[in-house]
Amino acid sequence: MIIIAVALIVMLALAFANIVNGYTLNLSFIIGFSLYIIIRILYALEHRSRVIGVDALTPTLFLISYVSVVLFVVAVSLFFVVTSLLARVVGMGFAPLLSYLIAFLTSLGVLVVSTLLGFVVVDLAMPRIDKYFLRRDRVSIDELLRRGELVSDEGGVRAFVFTGNRYAGFGFGSLLRGYAFVFTPTGELDLIGRGILAHELGHARSRHTIILTLAFLLMLSDYIVVAYLHGPAFYLSILLAPFFMALPFIIIRVCETHADLAWYRMYGEESVNQLREVLRRFYGVNDPRKAPLNSRLTHPGKRDLVLRFGDALAPHASWEFPLLAALFNAAVVDFYLLLRISSFLPLIGRFLTLILTLFYVGSFVGGLVLVYLFGLVFKPLVRYFLAGSLTEDGLTNASLLLSSIYLAASAASLLLASLWWTAVIAAFVITLVIIRHYVGKLKPSLFTVLSTMVIYLAVNLVLLLIMHVTVPIALHWFESLWYVR
């Protein structure tokens, strides 16, 4: 995954510098992503059959049969429908921002609809066609699943326990059905097995598979439109690429935290002991902060906090939400600069890439600083209203989450011009929904969002007034200096 990400960053940098065109970038991404999927499937088959046990091939092949059909439907829509639609949309000659939004939403809409239809088709057809996917022994999935013990069948999610060489598990939830697979050395649910099952049921019942799929489709849509855009709209797709690359990574960590929350709601504080035993069996440690890096990339190192206190915000690192906000802010501000200097392109054409790169880095660093500063300002208010609902780490992350969303809204308002108030309303609704989700109480969530947003808007108003006074003076000073020279 890291190698593929590095390769994509290199290709984006080359496209940004006009060394390769969008079609080359698009083709490189499709080839790289396809190779990554193939390698992951082969690794999963080999690793699970060797480490967990031969029976692990049953749910693994079952999952692959889902993914293969869905990817086929997406591929068909990608190469036939999306290509035709984007070619027509881009040819209409819209303004850069509108051109990008229409192309991006067109691509995303087709991919989302085709993917969801793929899930539905597989859900409906799997009982009849499963034996054609699993040609290994020409038996149905129901017969294969009988090798494991059915331990739960509620809410459209079926849970099975298999005998394996070690403890493991994974959950999968589509639109109409979900599955949770747990492996134990004895084939029975012991203390560790129950903890793993609760976590995987959280994934399956919350349909995290679909959520992660949609997150990756956002990234895929941005890469697709690169091949069809030109001018400022092309640069916008390149500038937003780092944001869309980081978004699925953060969402994965959010999903893992919510699966741990489902674990806590099922077993309470006993889930902490279960987690420690799982970590000891997996990695030889009993503290999630000491787990290997590959585990802490997807599972927050402080995940024990949600299992001890039920606070799903606390486990997240303090850099997660600010990172997304800073990447989005840098992309939008850089694009805004590009639109403003477009009339000077004949004069600065050779230095355009350098100017945009430096400005992007500066906007990214400045965005991080602003998020953390406003987070410090918001922290007392957040603590006052939410002290009884979140832990100290949760209060810190709530403050940073609020400031991150407000910063993203400020960046978006640059492009909305006279419709800037829509960004404010959107930020208010989004923050209220998110804080209400984590806190579980509407009244303190509403007061928290209102008080912090008033402070943020007041600071922005003061800055605008200062700029209104100082900018004309600065311009007059520069003009005087120019004439003197």
Residue 279 or 321, more confident: 321
pLDDT tens for each residue of 375-402: 999 999 999 999 888 899 999 999 999 9
pLDDT (average), residues 144-169: 71
pLDDT grade, residue 139 (50/70/90)?
A: very low
Residue-level pLDDT at 9: 55
Q: In percent, how much of the chain has pLDDT > 90?
A: 21
- Residue environment code for 263-278, b if the CB has 16+ CB neighbours within 10 A, otherwise e: bbebbeeebbebbbbb
Whether the per-residue pLDDT at 215 is higher than 70: the answer is yes
Residue-level pLDDT at 474: 56
pLDDT tens for each residue of 68-106: 556 655 665 565 556 556 656 655 556 777 778 887 887
pLDDT grade, residue 433 (50/70/90)?
A: very high
Residue-level pLDDT at 64: 57
Residue-level pLDDT at 224: 76
Residue-level pLDDT at 130: 45
Which range of 46-50, 90-94, 129-133, 237-241 scores highest in mean pLDDT? It is 237-241
For residue 45 the two structure tokens come to: 């088959």
Whether the per-residue pLDDT at 125 is higher than 80: the answer is no
Residue-level pLDDT at 96: 75
Q: What's the chain's average pLDDT?
A: 76
Residue 11 or 319, more confident: 319
Give the Cα-Cα-Cα angle 318, 454, 312 (nearest 5 degrees). Answer: 30
Measured CA to CA, the distance from residue 343 to residue 332 in angstroms comes to 19
Q: What angle separates helix 232-267 from helix 191-205, to the nearest 10 degrees?
A: 140
pLDDT (average), residues 455-465: 81
For residue 133 the two structure tokens come to: 């996917």
Kindly give, in sequence order, each residue whose CB lies less than 8 Å from that of residue 381, ignoring residues fewer than 6 positions away.
448, 451, 452, 455
Q: Which residues pair with 179 in a beta bridge?
A: 158, 172
Give the Cα-Cα-Cα angle 347, 23, 21 (nearest 5 degrees). Answer: 25
Residue-level pLDDT at 19: 47
For residue 111 the two structure tokens come to: 């991919």
Per 3-state DSSP, the chain is made up of helix, strand and coil in percentages (nearest 5) of 80, 5, 15
> Which of 458, 436, 457 lies closest to 385, judged by CA?
436
Question: Considering the entire predicted model, what is its pTM?
Answer: 0.79
Whether the per-residue pLDDT at 265 is higher than 70: the answer is yes
Lowest mean pLDDT among 49-58, 189-198, 307-316, 461-470: 49-58
Measured CA to CA, the distance from residue 371 to residue 397 in angstroms comes to 11
pLDDT tens for each residue of 291-332: 888 788 888 888 889 988 888 999 999 999 999 999 999 999
Residue-level pLDDT at 132: 45
User: Which amino acid appears at position 25 of this protein?
Assistant: L
Residue-level pLDDT at 283: 81
pLDDT tens for each residue of 461-484: 877 777 666 656 655 665 565 454
CA separation (Å) from 473 to 14, 465, 470, 476, 478? 40, 13, 5, 5, 9
User: Which amino acid appears at position 180 of this protein?
Assistant: A
Half-sphere exposure of 31 (CA within 13 A, CB side): 8
